[in-house]
């Protein structure tokens, strides 16, 4: 049986890895901001002060004000909520569909495997941004649409990983032994194969969350993401771009926020891969 | 090998069919009468024209029939006419796709040209300053949206330094030097994420190979480091890098949508997004077909290259 | 082509908000007029939208005019107030006194770019082409009153009418009045859309899809300037399609472009620098207006509409969304500068106290909640957000819903999906274009198809009347009803700005009646 690190040892490793600590700290910070946004924001995000349009950094507005005189810090914090909702939602959707699908293709095999994997190939090739644009046109611009579009793009990657792992594991002795012992396919799947797929899935989902934040930003920037007045880091960047020369702070604030959160997800994902995939340890 | 190539080619057909079917279904899921969208609102709306448009674009037929009609004509090379501007989709796509291909290829080449040497240097100097610097830049680059990098490039090189044009497209055929100048900033913005990923893959693959026995043996025999790296290790390390480079073609196409909009490059990505909004079914179908074919072709070539680079792999039936 | 020297509102900036810029502009105008036009050169221009088609008749995008204005002439041209102007028209004179017909006497010696003579037969061909549904001509509905066209002699053409056609002259100044070469149309079929051949100052030389349109000088152009010099002055125009306004501005600053539309946010910066020639045109569009579905609750209630109209402070919108560079609306749906514009009609004005009274009168003293549709753009998103915030102050909660412009338009006016639409409105200086479409009970923009007999009667009378002073009275009565009942609430009138490099001369002539750029009077000073 493959030696899977215990949760305790994973945590121990993580807490000895500086980049993992950085990643966890940033993610926790953003997550707390997202959960307690209403209590943290100094101003209502729709309060406009027409006498303080495009304001610089002051004690009252630590990140300045935007083109409608709204407090940037408050909008940034509410944007953090959207970022977390999108990344958790999209990756969750990807896992919820991709993992069972990958397992099923590995266990059932045959034509089901062939057809499913062709569909997955098609989804991978299909530009995810186009899916988002078409979904936005069909269902309207909302949080759900964005999650759905990014979530669909996650499905094939997770399905492929799980399928690959499961196929490899099926050949191994302990699964064969279980089969001989008369254990049902479903039980083998849930009790033997699934736990062993966990490591690569955890790594992929962590990286996928960073990717979701980037995709939301791109969608927001081309105007097909979540629409104002809900502030998102992507639509804040869209509104800021025309004012780049006059007031670069507007572009810098959400830009840095995106950078930090994606960096945090990526560093944590890398650290997890190193720990969970011993073959790679010391090389990355 | 031949049989493998043929079998892989045959697999592409159902994938392509599936993709076009999915696009068709997705487009028809968008609410609103496509004929009304074509004819327009207000003073442009006209019942007699609605009837003409419905007949001309077969919008009065069931959706599966419409798909079959489209597919039949597409097989003969006729992709129909745009409903937004009545231009031939084939002609339009030829122009637009060549722009996106140029930009994508340039971005991809820049990415590879930076990534491979940087990855090699980082691996060779593992744990020292060059490695640290390269890894830091790569990790940072992956965490930045490409369009954001583009915005910063516009600000620095276009507006402040005025070294390079920030918008538009000059075909390489009409003026090579000017065409390349226009292409530099969008290509960097488009390729930067891919460069970072390729570089990291290069680095780790090379480190892995260098830890293998035959390299250690060579070093023990007293061979100098660089000849070993370039002569033995690099070729073996290229395998996973080639895979990543192939996969990056898809990322570059997806990224082109945003980058083309930002830099005013008249490519296919921008065309496609506009077409979705305008309910321009023929253009959406055609451009997805072209884009999917290109990405599938890149994956296919990657597979073939893989077997060429690694003589140990022999594909059976 | 002799443009009227009395440019009126085109050059004179009015209003306190624009005070700082006005003197600068006038000083520049004076100097430019003193220079002698110089022939030759290429003008590099940018525009946001690719053409839907270059052929004026089949193009569906409002932005298409930017392209076809350069190579076409209208049958009947108009000055900025939309008064017909013969000197720049393909028709030398016209007779609209008979309610059953319109007769045009055509200019002699005009030829299409391909050498085909422009005559009565060509006009007949053009009008019949656009009336044929198979052409899918955009202005077909606007030519609804036309029964048939007959060529009386080589230069005399008569439209037989089904019903009186008061807006005929304005309509002939728009895309349906641009003439296409019959020979070229027949030869090219559906491909004609991007290879049009007309009579105007420039010829279409090349269209690079999504990238640019190149025009070259029409050597045989009939138009002359005031001094009798042949037009146009330029050898070539390159119109680059640059979707981002921001990129346009930086390209102008980098010297890659000669002339662009200036976004509101940049106007202050550009006016305070003396590096560029700036021109403005008031009333380019109704930049922000509230449109309602008069049948859909709660906007079927006149008091609640008035509550909304009085809760919104247009000054704030102008300041934040338009950087103080547009004009707070004082009249109705006919823009400033057009003859129908009348700022003296009483209309609801901003007052929180009044808004609360209207809410109480409408049976919702505590306020109410409803959906409001808008279509996102930099400016639209900003004013939709401001309107939402201002309404919240009196207890009206707007749930903003957005969709791309054509989709939103269909959803609101055809689908009846929301009680309110926050939008902008194209410049329709001919009042009947708005009146028939918005106020008539069967108008497309009457989302609830609500019938108001008095309005229907006024609209029909306006549409059938040719005499402008009489029409002015009719449309004033229309405005009294519409503004009094807050049926439409225009909030901001747009101002269109253009910025050009210092070497670009003739910028004072750049805007036509439709606020589109006309480039045949531009010229380049030698470096």
What digits encode the pLDDT tens for the residues B221-260? 777 777 777 777 777 777 778 877 887 888 888 888 889 8
Q: Would the pLDDT of C31 be above 50?
A: no
Q: How far apart are CA B140 and CA C2, in angstroms?
A: 60
Phi, psi angles (nearest 5°) of residue C277: -90, 125
Match 């040497």 to its residue by tokens. Answer: B117
Q: How far apart are CA B222 and CA B242, in angstroms?
A: 30
Q: Please give the structure tokens belonging to residue B130.
A: 């060059």
Q: Please give the structure tokens belonging to residue B290.
A: 């072209």
- Collapsed DSSP state (helix, strand, coil) of residue A243: helix
- Collapsed DSSP state (helix, strand, coil) of residue C438: helix
- Cβ-based contacts of C381 with chain A (< 8 Å): 227-228, 239
A interface test, pick of C270, C404, C417 with most A CB neighbours within 10 Å? C404
Mean pLDDT for chain C?
88
pLDDT in tens, C426-451: 877 788 888 988 999 988 899 999 99
- Collapsed DSSP state (helix, strand, coil) of residue C289: strand
Per DSSP, the residues of B240-258 read HHHHHHHHHHHHHHHHHHH
Q: Note if the bond before C298 is cis, omega within 30 degrees.
A: yes
Please, what's the largest Cα pairwise distance for chain A?
78
Residues within 8 A of C (CB atoms), B 72-91 only = 81, 84-88
Three-state helix/strand/coil letters over C221-243: CCCECCCCCECCCCCEEEEEECC
> Cβ separation of B139 and A121 shorter than 8 Å?
no
Q: Please give the structure tokens belonging to residue C186.
A: 């027949």
Query: For residues C176 and C143, is the Cβ–Cβ distance under 8 A?
Result: yes
* Buried/exposed code over C452-468 (b: 16+ C-beta within 10 A; e: otherwise): beebbebbbbbbbbbee
Residue in B32, B96, B262 closest to C210 by CB: B96
Q: Would the pLDDT of C197 be above 70?
A: yes
Residues within 8 A of B (CB atoms), C 55-74 only = 58-60
Nearest Cα of chain C lies from the Cα of B219 at a distance, in angstroms, of: 55
Q: Would the pLDDT of B32 be above 80?
A: no
Contact with chain B for residue A242, Cβ under 8 A: no
Q: Would the pLDDT of B26 be above 60?
A: yes
Query: For residues C151 and C491, is the Cβ–Cβ distance under 8 A?
Result: no
pLDDT in tens, B176-229: 888 888 889 999 999 998 899 889 888 888 888 877 777 777 777 777 777 777
C interface test, pick of B80, B82, B86 with most C CB neighbours within 10 Å? B86
Which is nearest to A64 in space by CA: A229, A251, A263, A269?
A251
> Cβ separation of B86 and C190 shorter than 8 Å?
yes
pLDDT in tens, C291-348: 999 999 999 999 999 999 999 999 999 999 999 999 999 999 887 888 889 999 999 9
Looking at residues A4-14, what average pLDDT do you find?
Answer: 73
Q: Please give the structure tokens belonging to residue B145.
A: 């949206």
Match 């106290």 to its residue by tokens. Answer: C353
Indicate the helix (H) or strand (E) that contains A54: none
Q: Count of CB atoms within 10 A of residue C184's CB? A: 18
> Cβ separation of B18 and A118 shorter than 8 Å?
yes
Q: How far apart are CA C256 and CA C359, in angstroms?
A: 54
Contact with chain B for residue A114, Cβ under 8 A: no
Q: Would the pLDDT of C25 be above 50?
A: no
- Please, which residues have CB within 8 angstroms of residue B212's CB and are 6 or more apart in sequence? B236
Which chains does chain B touch, 3 or more C-beta pairs < 8 A?
A, C
Q: Count of CB atoms within 10 A of residue C28's CB? A: 19
- Please, which residues have CB within 8 angstroms of residue A193's CB and are 6 or more apart in sequence? A103, A106, A107, A165, A166, A169, A170, A175
Which is nearest to C24 in space by CA: C257, C323, C268, C260?
C268
- Cβ-based contacts of A228 with chain C (< 8 Å): 376, 381, 384-385, 400
Q: How far apart are CA B220 and CA B228, in angstroms?
A: 11
Q: How far apart are CA A46 and CA C390, in angstroms?
A: 10
Q: Is C43 left (phi over 0), alpha (psi -120 to 50) or beta?
A: beta
* pLDDT grade for A281, boundaries at 50, 70 and 90: very low
- Cβ-based contacts of A128 with chain B (< 8 Å): 254
Antiparallel, parallel or unpaired: β C236-241 and C42-47: parallel
Q: How far apart are CA A2 and CA A99, in angstroms?
A: 20
Residue in A68, A141, A241 closest to C382 by CB: A68
The pLDDT score that the predictor gives to residue B175 is 83
> Cβ separation of C248 and B167 shorter than 8 Å?
yes
Does the global pTM surpass 0.90? Answer: no
Query: For residues C74 and C90, is the Cβ–Cβ distance under 8 A?
Result: yes
Q: Would the pLDDT of A283 be above 50?
A: no
Cross-strand bridge partners of residue B215: none
- Cβ-based contacts of A278 with chain B (< 8 Å): none
B interface test, pick of C46, C134, C141, C207 with most B CB neighbours within 10 Å? C141
> Distance from first CA to last CA of chain A, Å, rounded?
25
The residue of chain C with its CA nearest to that of A223 is C376
> Cβ separation of B167 and C256 shorter than 8 Å?
yes
Phi, psi angles (nearest 5°) of residue C23: -65, -40
In C328-467, which residue ranges form alpha helices assigned H by DSSP? 352-361, 378-392, 405-409, 431-434, 453-464
Which is nearest to C4 in space by CA: C511, C495, C469, C497?
C511
Half-sphere exposure of A52 (CA within 13 A, CB side): 16
- Cβ-based contacts of B273 with chain A (< 8 Å): 129-130, 133, 222, 224
> Cβ separation of A129 and B254 shorter than 8 Å?
yes
Residue C109 burial (CB < 10 Å; 0-12/13-18/19+)? Answer: exposed
Q: How far apart are CA A147 and CA C181, in angstroms?
A: 52
Contact with chain B for residue A180, Cβ under 8 A: no
DSSP state of A6: P
Which is nearest to B144 in space by CA: A20, A33, A233, C244?
A233
- Cβ-based contacts of C142 with chain B (< 8 Å): 43
- Cβ-based contacts of A46 with chain C (< 8 Å): 385, 388-389, 392
> Cβ separation of C244 and B262 shorter than 8 Å?
yes
Q: How far apart are CA A241 and CA A250, in angstroms?
A: 8
In chain A, which residue ranges form alpha helices assigned H by DSSP? 7-15, 18-35, 37-40, 72-108, 110-125, 128-139, 143-170, 173-180, 185-188, 194-222, 233-240, 249-276
> Cβ separation of B258 and A280 shorter than 8 Å?
no
The pLDDT score that the predictor gives to residue A278 is 55
Looking at residues C136-154, what average pLDDT do you find?
Answer: 92
Tallying the residues shown for chain B, one arrives at 317
- Determine what percent of chain B is predicted with pLDDT higher than 90: 9
Looking at residues A207-218, what average pLDDT do you find?
Answer: 91
The residue of chain A with its CA nearest to that of B261 is A222
Q: How far apart are CA C505 and CA C425, in angstroms?
A: 31
Which is nearest to A29 in space by CA: A197, A198, A257, A252?
A257
Query: For residues B252 and B187, is the Cβ–Cβ distance under 8 A?
Result: no
Q: Would the pLDDT of C118 be above 70?
A: yes
Q: Count of CB atoms within 10 A of residue C363's CB? A: 11
* pLDDT grade for A91, boundaries at 50, 70 and 90: very high
The residue of chain A with its CA nearest to that of B296 is A125
> Cβ separation of B44 and C53 shorter than 8 Å?
no
Nearest Cα of chain C lies from the Cα of A122 at a distance, in angstroms, of: 28
- Please, which residues have CB within 8 angstroms of residue A151's CB and are 6 or more apart in sequence? A89, A90, A91, A92, A93, A94, A97
A interface test, pick of B11, B12, B15, B290 with most A CB neighbours within 10 Å? B15
Residue C499 burial (CB < 10 Å; 0-12/13-18/19+)? Answer: buried
> Cβ separation of C53 and B85 shorter than 8 Å?
yes
- Cβ-based contacts of B277 with chain A (< 8 Å): 133, 137
Q: Would the pLDDT of C34 be above 70?
A: no
Contact with chain A for residue C403, Cβ under 8 A: yes
- Cβ-based contacts of C376 with chain A (< 8 Å): 223, 227-228
- Cβ-based contacts of B148 with chain A (< 8 Å): 217, 237, 255, 258
> Cβ separation of C402 and A227 shorter than 8 Å?
yes
- Cβ-based contacts of C414 with chain B (< 8 Å): 36, 41
Residue in C320, C401, C407 closest to A69 by CB: C320
> Cβ separation of C320 and A68 shorter than 8 Å?
yes
Which chains does chain C touch, 3 or more C-beta pairs < 8 A?
A, B
What is the interface pTM, i.e. ipTM, of the complex? 0.82
Q: Would the pLDDT of C20 be above 60?
A: no
From residue C393, alpha-carbon distances to B51, C202, C366, C525 in Å are 48, 54, 11, 54
Q: Would the pLDDT of C4 be above 60?
A: no
Looking at residues A253-282, what average pLDDT do you find?
Answer: 83
Contact with chain A for residue C378, Cβ under 8 A: yes
Q: Would the pLDDT of C57 be above 50?
A: yes
Q: Please give the structure tokens belonging to residue B235.
A: 């070729």
Query: For residues B248 and B111, is the Cβ–Cβ distance under 8 A?
Result: yes
Least confident piece of the model among A233-237, B159-163, C83-87: B159-163
> Cβ separation of A255 and B148 shorter than 8 Å?
yes
Q: Please give the structure tokens belonging to residue C361.
A: 């009168």
Residue C326's Cα: distance from chain center in Å?
16
DSSP state of C135: G
> Cβ separation of B145 and A217 shorter than 8 Å?
yes
Q: Between helices A233-240 and A72-108, what is the axis angle to 10°?
A: 130
Mean pLDDT for chain B?
83
Residue in B88, B158, B266 closest to C210 by CB: B266
Residue in C134, C247, C404 closest to B52 by CB: C134
Query: For residues C412 and C447, is the Cβ–Cβ distance under 8 A?
Result: yes
pLDDT in tens, C248-293: 888 898 888 999 999 999 999 899 888 899 999 987 788 999 999 9
Q: Would the pLDDT of B159 be above 80?
A: no
- Collapsed DSSP state (helix, strand, coil) of residue C115: coil
Residue in A140, A241, A246 closest to C403 by CB: A140
Q: Would the pLDDT of C186 be above 50?
A: yes
* pLDDT grade for C527, boundaries at 50, 70 and 90: low
Nearest Cα of chain A lies from the Cα of B250 at a distance, in angstroms, of: 7
pLDDT in tens, C467-502: 889 999 999 999 999 999 999 999 999 999 999 999
Query: For residues C239 and C66, is the Cβ–Cβ distance under 8 A?
Result: yes
Nearest Cα of chain C lies from the Cα of B211 at a distance, in angstroms, of: 50
């Amino acid at each position: 049986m493959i030696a899977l690190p215990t949760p305790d040892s994973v945590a121990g490793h993580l807490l000895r890895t500086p980049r993992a600590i950085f990643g966890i700290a940033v993610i926790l910070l953003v997550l707390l901001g997202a959960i307690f946004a209403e209590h943290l924001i100094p101003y209502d995000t729709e309060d406009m002060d027409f006498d303080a349009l495009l304001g610089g950094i002051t004690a009252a507005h630590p990140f300045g004000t935007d083109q409608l005189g709204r407090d940037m810090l408050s909008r940034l914090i509410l944007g953090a909520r959207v970022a977390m909702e999108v990344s958790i939602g999209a990756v969750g959707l990807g896992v919820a569909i991709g993992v069972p699908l990958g397992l099923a293709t590995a266990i059932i095999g045959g034509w089901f495997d062939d057809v499913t994997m062709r569909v997955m190939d098609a989804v991978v090739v299909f530009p995810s941004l186009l899916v988002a644009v078409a979904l936005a046109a069909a269902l309207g611009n909302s949080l759900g649409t964005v999650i759905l579009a990014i979530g669909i793009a996650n499905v094939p990657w997770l399905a492929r990983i799980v399928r690959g792992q499961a196929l490899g594991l099926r050949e191994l002795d302990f699964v064969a032994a279980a089969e001989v012992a008369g254990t049902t396919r479903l039980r083998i799947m849930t009790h033997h194969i699934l736990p062993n797929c966990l490591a690569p899935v955890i790594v992929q989902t962590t990286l996928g969350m960073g990717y979701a934040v980037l995709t939301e930003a791109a969608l927001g920037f081309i105007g097909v993401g979540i629409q104002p007045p809900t502030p998102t880091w992507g639509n804040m960047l869209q509104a800021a771009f025309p004012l780049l020369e006059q007031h670069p702070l507007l572009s810098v604030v959400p830009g840095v926020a995106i950078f930090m959160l994606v960096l945090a997800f990526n560093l944590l994902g890398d650290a997890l891969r190193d720990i969970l995939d011993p073959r790679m340890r010391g090389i990355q | 090998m031949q049989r493998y190539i043929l079998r892989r080619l045959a697999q592409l057909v159902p994938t392509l069919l599936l993709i076009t079917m999915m696009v068709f279904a997705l487009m028809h899921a968008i609410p609103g009468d496509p004929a009304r969208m074509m004819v327009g609102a207000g003073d442009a709306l006209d019942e007699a024209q609605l009837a003409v448009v419905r007949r001309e674009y077969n919008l009065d037929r069931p959706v599966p029939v419409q798909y079959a009609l489209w597919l039949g004509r597409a097989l003969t090379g006729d992709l129909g006419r745009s409903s937004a501007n009545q231009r031939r989709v084939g002609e339009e796509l030829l122009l637009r796709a060549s722009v996106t291909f140029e930009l994508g290829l340039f971005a991809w080449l820049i990415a590879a040209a930076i990534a491979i040497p940087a990855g090699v240097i980082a691996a060779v100097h593992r744990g020292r300053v060059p490695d640290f610097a390269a890894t830091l830049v790569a990790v940072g680059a992956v965490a930045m949206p490409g369009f954001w990098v583009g915005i910063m490039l516009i600000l620095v090189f276009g507006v402040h330094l005025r070294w390079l044009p920030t918008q538009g497209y000059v075909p390489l055929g009409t003026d090579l030097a000017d065409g390349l100048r226009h292409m530099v900033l969008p290509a960097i913005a488009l390729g930067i994420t891919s460069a970072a990923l390729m570089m990291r893959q290069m680095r780790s693959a090379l480190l892995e190979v260098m830890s293998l026995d035959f390299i250690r043996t060579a070093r023990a025999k007293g061979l100098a480091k660089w000849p070993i790296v370039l002569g033995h290790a690099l070729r073996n390390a290229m395998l996973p890098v080639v895979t990543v480079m192939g996969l990056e073609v898809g990322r570059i196409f997806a990224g082109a949508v945003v980058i083309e909009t930002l830099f005013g490059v008249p490519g296919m990505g921008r065309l496609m997004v506009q077409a979705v909004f305008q309910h321009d079914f023929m253009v959406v179908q055609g451009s997805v077909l072209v884009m999917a074919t290109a990405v599938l072709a890149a994956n296919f070539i990657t597979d073939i290259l893989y077997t060429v680079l690694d003589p140990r792999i022999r594909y059976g039936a | 082509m002799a443009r009227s020297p009395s440019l009126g509102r085109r050059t004179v900036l009015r209003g306190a908000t624009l005070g700082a810029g006005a003197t600068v502009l006038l000083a520049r105008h004076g100097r430019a007029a003193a220079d002698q036009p110089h022939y030759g050169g290429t003008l590099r221009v940018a525009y946001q939208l690719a053409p839907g088609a270059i052929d004026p008749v089949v193009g569906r995008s409002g932005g298409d005019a930017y392209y076809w204005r350069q190579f076409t002439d209208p049958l009947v041209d108009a000055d900025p107030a939309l008064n017909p102007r013969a000197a720049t028209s393909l028709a030398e004179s016209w007779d609209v006194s008979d309610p059953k017909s319109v007769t045009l006497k055509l200019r002699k010696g005009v030829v299409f770019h391909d050498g085909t003579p422009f005559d009565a037969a060509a006009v007949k061909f053009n009008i019949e082409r656009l009336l044929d549904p198979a052409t899918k001509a955009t202005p077909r509905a606007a030519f609804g009153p036309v029964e048939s066209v007959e060529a009386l002699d080589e230069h005399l053409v008569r439209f037989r009418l089904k019903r009186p056609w008061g807006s005929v002259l304005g309509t002939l100044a728009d895309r349906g009045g641009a003439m296409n070469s019959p020979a070229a149309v027949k030869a090219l079929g559906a491909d004609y859309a991007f290879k049009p051949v007309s009579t105007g100052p420039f010829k279409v030389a090349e269209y690079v899809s999504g990238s640019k349109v190149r025009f070259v000088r029409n050597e045989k152009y009939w138009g002359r300037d005031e001094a009798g010099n042949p037009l146009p002055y330029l050898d070539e125009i390159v119109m680059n399609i640059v979707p981002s306004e921001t990129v346009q501005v930086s390209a102008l600053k980098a010297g890659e472009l000669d002339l662009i539309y200036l976004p509101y946010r940049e106007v202050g910066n550009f006016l305070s620098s003396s590096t560029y020639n700036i021109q403005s045109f008031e009333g380019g569009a109704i930049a922000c207006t509230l449109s309602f579905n008069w049948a859909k609750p709660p906007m079927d209630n006149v008091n609640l509409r008035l509550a909304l109209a009085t809760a919104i402070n247009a000054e704030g919108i102008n300041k934040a969304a338009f950087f103080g560079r547009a004009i707070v609306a004082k009249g109705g749906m006919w823009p400033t500068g057009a003859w129908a514009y009348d700022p003296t009609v009483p209309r609801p004005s901003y007052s929180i106290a009044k808004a609360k009274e209207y809410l109480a009168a409408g049976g919702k003293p505590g306020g109410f909640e409803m959906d409001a549709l808008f279509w996102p753009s930099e400016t639209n998103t900003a004013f939709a957000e401001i309107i939402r915030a201002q309404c919240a102050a009196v207890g009206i909660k707007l749930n903003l819903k957005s969709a791309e412009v054509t989709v939103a338009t269909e959803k609101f006016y055809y689908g009846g999906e929301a009680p309110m639409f926050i939008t902008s409105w194209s410049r329709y200086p001919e009042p009947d274009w708005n009146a028939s479409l918005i106020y008539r009970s069967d108008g497309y923009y009457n989302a609830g198809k609500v019938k108001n007999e008095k309005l229907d009667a006024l609209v029909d009378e306006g549409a059938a009347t040719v005499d402008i002073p009489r029409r002015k009275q009719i449309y004033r009565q229309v405005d009294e009803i519409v503004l009094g009942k807050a049926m439409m609430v225009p909030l901001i009138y747009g101002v269109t700005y253009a910025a050009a490099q210092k070497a670009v001369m003739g910028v004072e002539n750049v805007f036509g009646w439709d606020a589109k750029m006309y480039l045949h009077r531009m010229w380049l000073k030698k470096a």
